[in-house]
A = this chain, B = another copy of it.
Amino acid sequence: MTDKPLSGRKAQAARNDKLILEAAHEVFVADPEAPIAEVAKRAGVGISALYRRYPSKEDLLRKLCADGLARYLELVSEAVEAEGDPWEAFRAFMRGVVLADTPSITVRLAGTFTPSPEMFKAAVDGDAANREMMKRFKSAGILRADVENGDLQMVTESICSINIGDAERTRAVRLRALELYLEALREPGAAPLPGSPVSDEEMGARWIPRNMKE
């Protein structure tokens, strides 16, 4: 409570900016359909403090999702540019995604707002970077050849769907599940995988707002 430059209306506002984003992140990760009042309560501010910053709930969600997308892009970039043991780079990437919980804030929220053009761009960029990353890891011989981008998405998404009350414990259990998966992703695979991985179109279809479906 007793921050450093406590006084100043501007300072409080700046602090609230951060408080609100953090609260929104926590709340919507826990429940994508949470009411906006929950965010305000968690942040310890009034509702009007929210509406001063974001014109609507949808805008807040979009911002949150864009941040998550950006974080994901960072992680991919790190993985692509990493030097040293490729396997550890891959492992770090996957752990990073699970720890940052980006699937919960991107795909899980998808469909609740109309994506902004920037987000489309981020998606395209991310796709390219993803592809680059897969290529690198495969040519390094650490990733089995028959896993593809869609497979990784499914792995991280399904792991991030694990949720058991306590946040700390949830994180631990997810990392445990990840370790299982990692073992299976590593080259060489025992038997070929059945079916085909999730395609880009299939992944993309989830981003169209629910209102516009069918």
A residues engaging B (CB < 8 A)?
Answer: 147, 151, 154-155, 157-159, 161-162, 164-165, 169, 172-173, 175-177, 179-186, 189-191, 193-198, 202-203, 205-206
| This chain: copies in complex | 2
A165:B197 contact, CB within 8 angstroms: no
User: Which of B162, B190, B206 meets A183, CB within 8 Å?
Assistant: B190
* Distance (whole angstroms) from the CB of A38 to the closest CB of chain B: 14
- A147 closest partner in B (C-beta): B180
A189 to B175, CA, bound (A): 16
In the complex, which residues of chain B have a beta carbon less than 8 angstroms from the beta carbon of A202?
164-165, 169
Closest 7 CB pairs of A and B: A161-B161, A184-B184, A158-B158, A183-B184, A180-B184, A172-B195, A176-B195
* A198: min CB distance to chain B, Å: 6
> Taking the nearest CB of chain B, how far is it from the CB of A40, in angstroms?
19
- Note all chain B residues with C-beta closer than 8 A to A196: 172, 176
